[in-house]
Amino acid sequence: MSDAAITTLRLGLTGWPLEHSLSATIHTAALSATRLDGEYQLFPVPPVPAGSAALEELIARMRRGELHGLNVTIPHKQAVLPLLDALKPVAQAAGAANTIFQRGGQVVGDNTDVQGFLTDLKSFAGHLFLEDRSRNPRSAPQALILGAGGAARGVVYGLAQAGWEVHVAARRLEQAEELVAGIQNSSRSGSGHPLPQLHPHRLYRADLAGLLPTIALIVNATPLGMYPRADASPWPVGLPLPPQGVVYDLVYNPLETAFVRSARAGGLTASNGLGMLIEQAALAFEIWTGQTAPLQTMFRAAQEALKPL
């Protein structure tokens, strides 16, 4: 928790839209399970520049002690950075923050997406991480990330630090190039780890077809397929999925997106992003409260909320 004694925790989530979010459900369940007095609210804020004033006011409320912790989702994981007093190293390197807290009078941004994603990915596709890549960098597995927003930044940074060669595909090539340049620059000025192999591409069939034979993992880091547009898919029409690939869709509502459904129909191992949601939320909960997050309770609450009516 923050430096001052807090009797009632006031937590929340900001982003746009938020109708699909399960964050309030899982954090309310966690507060109840740990017997902490608190509440978790949704703070829908439109994309900047329209939402600039509202986003600034939320951070100002944290400085005044009216809010004690915030999660940040699409489209504000990057937009929030200039409003913060400090960034944890992972948020700085990834160029995105999804968790905000107060320490020593400063409003600080962190990124729990990185570890949350890697933890969940390893839980169902651990075989992709078994080899010792440090002895033979050329054996690095290759991943294709769809999207270049704040969610994609955490995924790309996490995989790059885990030794992957990462291809980033966006509808506008300049978005992918900006993401790649940002993470490469952070690597040069950071802890001295080898520069990750990152490659920008356009998210079009003709640009990606030649990559597919080498791709072991495809991650959807766009909102396409999210409720209520559950029939949408980020995958280019007419482009076959690699038969040996693993598919991970960060979207978790619905539980089976059109992208996951098509991957499974093609015989691929595929997962939604519910596990990542819980893992990153648990890390944020522990940052805010100092207590171990009740993972199973949070997972059950999410599953219950997603059951068909």
Closest CA to 26 of 282, 252, 255: 282
Kindly give, in sequence order, each residue whose CB lies less than 8 Å from that of residue 307, ignoring residues fewer than 6 positions away. Answer: none
Rg over alpha carbons for the chain, rounded to the nearest Å, is 19
Q: How far apart are CA 95 and CA 89, in angstroms?
A: 10
Instruction: Calculate the alpha carbon distances from 88 to 110, 112, 280, 284, 290 in Å.
Output: 5, 10, 15, 13, 17
Give the type of residue at 137: P
Q: How far apart are CA 302 and CA 25, in angstroms?
A: 7
Residue 169 burial (CB < 10 Å; 0-12/13-18/19+)?
Answer: buried
307 is catalytic: no
Q: How far apart are CA 220 and CA 144, in angstroms?
A: 9
Question: Which one from 77, 88, 122, 307 is the annotated catalytic residue?
Answer: 77
Angle CA 48–51–53, to nearest 5: 115
* Sole residue written with tokens 């982003």: 15
Number of other residues whose CB lies within 10 A of the CB of residue 268: 17
Token couple for 226: 């999210």
Q: Which residues are the active-site residues?
A: 77
